[in-house]
């Protein structure tokens, strides 16, 4: 094997590792939004949007209870902020990070926004629309803009949700006693 081939073979894994490090760092920013949601008594789901250049353009946390709005999922909150910020309902080239697998409503909105990429953490066996319950991204007729990737910090994102529900159950139990 020539030296040229050796360096070529090493370059690809390095690039992939750097990309996943960036994804993990951005997912942690989304997790901080989820923590803020939990502090407000909302189910902890958080989102972050970066533009095509990788600049952070919006964050959002779940606020369905506080806003009395069934559509106020973290992704929608962040999408509204990002779109208003750039003055365009389409966000081509942008990537959205969210701590929990998006539901059908959010996937629909993100496809309308023509995001380049959606990255999520934990899977959602109850309402996940990226493969868990249904897979909207697989319908090429609906989606030819947005790539979907799951499993980034899945364990940590899932634990954040489980801890929230554990605490809430405990609180309910002590209130009943």
Q: Does 103 bind Zn ion (CB under 5 A)?
A: yes
- The question of whether 75 is a catalytic residue gets the answer yes
Exposure class string for 158-177: b at 16+ Cβ within 10 A, else e? bebbeebeeeeeeeeeeeee
Instruction: Give the pair of three-digit tokens for residue 79.
Output: 């999408």
The catalytic residue among 75, 101, 156, 167 is 75
Minimum separation from the CB atom of position 107 to Zn ion (A)? 8
Cα gap 13→18, rounded to integer Å: 9
Smaller CB separation from Zn ion, 26 or 73: 73
Q: How many residues bind Zn ion (CB under 5 A)?
A: 3
Of residues 66 through 95, those in contact with Zn ion by CB under 5 A are 73
Looking at the chain, how many residues does it have?
177
Main-chain dihedrals φ then ψ at residue 146, nearest 5 degrees: -110, 120
Residue of 106, 129, 130, 157 interacting with Zn ion (CB under 5 A)? 106
Minimum separation from the CB atom of position 112 to Zn ion (A)? 13
Task: Find the DSSP H helices in the chain.
Answer: 3-39, 74-86, 104-112, 154-176
* Region of 103-111, 112-120, 138-146, 154-162 interacting with Zn ion (CB under 5 A): 103-111
- 121: helix, coil or strand? strand
Minimum separation from the CB atom of position 119 to Zn ion (A)? 15
Minimum separation from the CB atom of position 66 to Zn ion (A)? 16
Residues at the interface with Zn ion (CB under 5 A): 73, 103, 106
């Amino acid at each position: 094997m020539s030296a040229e081939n050796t360096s070529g073979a090493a370059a690809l894994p390095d690039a992939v590792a750097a990309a996943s490090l960036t994804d993990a760092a951005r997912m942690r920013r989304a997790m901080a939004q989820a923590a803020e949601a939990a502090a407000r008594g909302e189910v902890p789901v958080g989102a972050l949007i970066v533009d095509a250049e990788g600049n952070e353009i919006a964050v959002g946390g779940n606020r369905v209870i506080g806003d009395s709005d069934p559509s106020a999922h973290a992704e929608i909150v962040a999408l509204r902020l990002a779109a208003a910020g750039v003055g365009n309902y389409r966000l081509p080239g942008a990537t959205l990070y969210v701590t929990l697998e998006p539901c059908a409503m959010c996937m629909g909105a993100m496809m309308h926004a023509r995001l380049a990429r959606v990255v999520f953490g934990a899977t959602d066996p109850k309402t996940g629309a990226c493969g868990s319950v249904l897979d909207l991204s697989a319908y090429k007729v609906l989606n030819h803009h947005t790539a979907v990737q799951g499993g980034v910090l899945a364990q940590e994102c899932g634990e954040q949700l489980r801890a929230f529900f554990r605490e809430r159950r405990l609180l309910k139990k002590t209130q009943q006693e």
